[in-house]
């Protein structure tokens, strides 16, 4: 008998042992009741499953669930640990027409049922619940079991008196995995869409860290009262949410997170890493600083605002119907995200658990649930493909995985820049980076930032349809000018700082600002720029929370070269380098070797050569001095820079008179040399998981 076969089936008649009382909830295949042991008069939860509704595969899956519950119940008896909370299987009856599964009864309801009744809620309360959840996940994982549907609704409070007596329930999607090769031992797409990890949506094999991602989403809700990912039918529905998950695009909104400790945020970030290799295990999460913070420190942090959100969410959930009460089974068509543009209005509900491993998938993927009569199948109409709406015309630039094309809309005949990313050899992490770029661009609408107008994911390629700037980049433009004044440089810098301020106010760091990333709108305008190239952009969830070494060597901030954590202030260093370049035509840091270059940047060692800077205003040099500050805490922000004397106070006529024409020969020689060097070295690599020593960009 293999591990998935049922053992210890009670051969008695269920009705002779238990009576069924009040119904708790019902689903597609079964109903949960309160049951009473006729001899001991104890109350239990009894799940009654109608076998006539099950396919042979679903019937086997039901038996697997019972087998796993039996195994874990026995393991808890053999290895008692008061910190571990997994619902106990008490009894099991297998009749020809039905299954009766008898389990512990959670008198306190699920974790949000309980929290909604609280008057006081602190970070310690959230930490205690998170610790219990992680202890349970670690216990399962050490025994080769993955739950695959961790969410607040499956965290049950056993007592009405003790809020920390919490147990993990609902093992309908649980599976055994190989302890020898855990990271690639499962393939089935299942779970609750708002809580599933990126690797599951992407369709690659995955391991038990899928539970850690879902637990991270749950912890996010326990701390803030809000879910990190929400399906909004007005903003692209299910597919738009899936793109955000795959990009790891979630936000710590200040209204709910401003009083929550940084260590709590760090733990959430470590649990919700897009790349499973960088994601912590349950054991590592339990060793985190926040989990081990003294109780008194956490008791002082009130989660009053979060509790209000939890109460509001709980009320909406009760009105709508219990999340996850109905396990919708859906197959490949539900999970398919290919050939779907970002504007597609997907109408599936993200609150239900969805299984891709059953024979009734097609039925449930196309038929509306009775509880959601307004839901519409997104596949009634064939979604558009890139080729049905756009045409590629001329390749402009080609990299390792991506190419930039000039293209046009077949409908309007308008021209666009189209970034085509070849998916053939793209890793899961690098696909996530492309989707992160899409998510960032979607959240930024500013006159000095290139707009993302459309996006397609197809089996062979990603397509990003971008606003087309016909004026080239700033590097080439400045090198080609015969007349150029400090007024021109200031106007361009003002637009750059305005866009950078806009990004930073929305918690986004560009991480690759340089003249080649600044595009000019028209050939006739030397100052109307748009920031492009967001392939390395990242949300900044808290100060000094970024660690990836990335960027372009001459523009990278000192803290990155020191391997220090950093944040959006690194962009302001890059802006300082760009403004320096705009004013004299060469870079502040230019050494013969990379090691010498890095040393100069780390020390902030640069000069204002009198022969080149004599025609530049004192106010411009003063701003550069405030931007090229080694200590990021003392460095000017974009907002401070926009209030500087050079940007705000110096009259246009004064700067227009600072014409650099008499230095054109030396400047153009320097600029053309830089252009040639950059073109030889190549532009920044698209992906950001390389060390700076390996990057060939300038």
Which residues are tagged catalytic? Answer: 149
- Both tokens of residue 23? 């119904």
What Å distances lie between residue 262 and 66, 543, 580, CA to CA?
40, 9, 36
Is residue 140 within 8 Å of residue 72, measured between CB atoms? yes
Query: In angstroms, rounded to a whole number, what is the distance separating the alpha carbons of residues 154 and 495?
Result: 50
Task: Give the angle 542-271-119 at the CA atoms, nearest 5°.
Answer: 75
Query: In angstroms, rounded to a whole number, what is the distance separating the alpha carbons of residues 149 and 110?
Result: 14
For the chain, give the longest Cα–Cα distance.
103
507: left (phi over 0), alpha (psi -120 to 50) or beta: left
Kindly state the DSSP code that residue 287 receives in the 8-state scheme.
Answer: T
Task: Give the angle 127-25-130 at the CA atoms, nearest 5°.
Answer: 10
Backbone angles phi, psi at 624, to 5 degrees: -60, -40
The CB-side HSE value for 336 (13 A sphere, CA atoms) comes to: 16
Q: Which residues of 534-572 are buried (b: 16+ CB within 10 A; e: fewer)?
A: bbbbbbbbbeebbebbbbbbbbbbbbbbeeeebbbbbbb
Kindly state the DSSP code that residue 577 receives in the 8-state scheme.
Answer: H
Backbone angles phi, psi at 375, to 5 degrees: -70, 140
Query: In angstroms, rounded to a whole number, what is the distance separating the alpha carbons of residues 620 and 226?
Result: 45
Residue 345's Cβ-count burial label (10 Å; 0-12, 13-18, 19+) is: middle
Q: Length of the chain in residues, anyone?
A: 698
What is the SS3 assignment for 625-674? HHHCCCCCCCCCCHHHHHCCHHHHCCCHHHHHHCECHHHHHHHHHHHHHH
585: left (phi over 0), alpha (psi -120 to 50) or beta: left
Task: Give the angle 577-578-584 at the CA atoms, nearest 5°.
Answer: 90
Query: In angstroms, rounded to a whole number, what is the distance separating the alpha carbons of residues 532 and 544?
Result: 24
**Cβ-proximal residues to 295 (8 Å cutoff; 6+ apart), any chain:** 124
What is the SS3 assignment for 21-68? EEEEEECCCEEEEEEEECCCCCEEEEEEEEHHHCCHHHHHHHHHHHHH
- Both tokens of residue 393? 């015309």
Alpha helices, DSSP H, located in 351-485: 361-366, 386-389, 428-442, 474-480
- Strand 529-531 and strand 89-94: the pairing is unpaired
Query: In angstroms, rounded to a whole number, what is the distance separating the alpha carbons of residues 380 and 388?
Result: 18
Query: In angstroms, rounded to a whole number, what is the distance separating the alpha carbons of residues 664 and 584?
Result: 10
Residue 628's Cβ-count burial label (10 Å; 0-12, 13-18, 19+) is: buried
**Cβ-proximal residues to 597 (8 Å cutoff; 6+ apart), any chain:** 553, 554, 589, 590, 591
């Amino acid at each position: 008998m293999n591990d998935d076969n049922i053992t210890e089936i009670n051969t008695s008649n269920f009705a002779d042992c238990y009576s069924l009382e009040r119904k708790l909830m019902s689903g597609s295949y079964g109903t949960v009741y309160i049951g009473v042991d006729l001899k001991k008069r104890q109350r239990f939860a009894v799940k009654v499953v109608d076998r006539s509704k099950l396919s042979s595969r679903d019937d086997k899956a039901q038996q697997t669930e019972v087998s796993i519950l039996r195994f874990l119940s026995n393991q808890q008896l053999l290895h008692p640990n008061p910190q571990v909370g997994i619902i106990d299987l008490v009894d099991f009856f297998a009749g020809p027409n039905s299954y009766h599964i008898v389990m512990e009864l959670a008198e306190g309801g699920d974790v949000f049922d309980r929290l909604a009744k609280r008057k006081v809620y602190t970070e310690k309360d959230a930490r205690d619940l998170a610790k219990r959840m992680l202890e349970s996940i670690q216990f399962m994982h050490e025994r080769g079991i993955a739950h695959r549907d961790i969410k607040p609704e499956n965290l049950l409070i056993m007592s009405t008196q003790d809020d920390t007596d919490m147990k993990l329930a609902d093992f309908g999607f649980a599976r055994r995995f190989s302890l020898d090769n855990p990271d690639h031992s499962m393939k089935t797409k299942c779970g609750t869409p708002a809580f599933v990890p990126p690797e599951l949506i992407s369709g690659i094999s995955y391991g038990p860290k899928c539970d850690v991602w879902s637990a991270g989403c749950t912890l996010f809700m326990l701390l803030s009262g809000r879910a990190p990912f929400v399906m909004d039918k007005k903003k692209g529905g299910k597919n738009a949410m899936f793109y955000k998950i795959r990009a790891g695009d979630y936000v710590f909104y200040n209204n709910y997170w401003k009083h929550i400790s940084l260590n709590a945020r760090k733990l959430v970030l470590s649990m919700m890493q897009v790349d499973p290799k960088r994601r912590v295990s349950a054991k590592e999460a339990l060793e985190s600083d926040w989990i081990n913070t003294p109780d008194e420190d956490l008791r002082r942090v009130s989660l009053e605002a979060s509790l209000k959100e939890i109460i509001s969410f709980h009320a909406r959930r009760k009105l709508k119907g219990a999340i996850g009460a109905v396990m919708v089974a859906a197959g490949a068509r539900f999970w398919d995200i290919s050939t779907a543009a970002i504007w597609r209005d997907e109408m599936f509900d993200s609150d239900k658990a969805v299984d891709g491993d059953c024979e009734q998938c097609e039925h449930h993927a196309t038929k509306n649930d009775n509880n959601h009569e307004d839901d519409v199948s997104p596949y009634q109409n064939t979604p558009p493909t890139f080729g049905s709406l756009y045409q590629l015309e001329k390749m402009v630039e080609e990299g390792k995985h991506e190419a930039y094309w000039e293209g046009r809309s077949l409908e309007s005949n308008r021209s666009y820049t189209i970034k085509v990313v070849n998916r053939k050899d793209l890793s899961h992490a690098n696909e996530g980076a492309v989707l992160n770029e899409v998510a960032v661009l979607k959240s930024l609408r500013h006159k000095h930032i290139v707009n993302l107008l459309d996006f397609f994911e197809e089996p062979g390629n990603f397509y990003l349809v971008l606003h087309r700037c016909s004026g080239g980049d700033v590097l080439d433009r400045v090198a080609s000018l015969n007349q150029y004044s400090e007024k021109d440089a200031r106007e361009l810098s003002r637009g750059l700082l305005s866009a950078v301020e806009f990004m930073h106010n929305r918690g986004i760091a560009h991480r690759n600002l340089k003249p080649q990333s600044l595009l000019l709108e028209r050939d006739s305008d030397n100052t109307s720029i748009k920031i492009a190239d967001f392939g390395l952009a990242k949300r900044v969830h808290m100060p000094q929370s970024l660690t990836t070494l990335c960027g372009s060597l001459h523009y990278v901030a000192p803290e990155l070269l020191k391997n220090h954590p950093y944040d959006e202030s690194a962009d302001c260093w890059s802006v300082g380098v760009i403004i320096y370049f705009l004013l004299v035509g060469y870079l502040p840091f230019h050494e013969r070797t990379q090691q010498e270059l890095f040393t100069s940047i780390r020390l902030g060692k640069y000069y204002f050569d009198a022969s080149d800077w004599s025609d530049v205003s004192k106010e411009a040099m003063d701003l550069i001095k405030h931007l090229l500050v080694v200590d990021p805490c003392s460095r000017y922000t974009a907002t401070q820079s926009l209030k500087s004397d050079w940007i705000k106070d110096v009259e246009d006529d004064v700067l227009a008179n600072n014409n650099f024409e008499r230095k054109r020969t030396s400047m153009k020689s320097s600029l053309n040399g830089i252009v040639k060097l950059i073109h030889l070295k190549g532009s920044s690599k698209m992906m950001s998981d390389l060390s700076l020593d390996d990057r060939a960009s300038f």
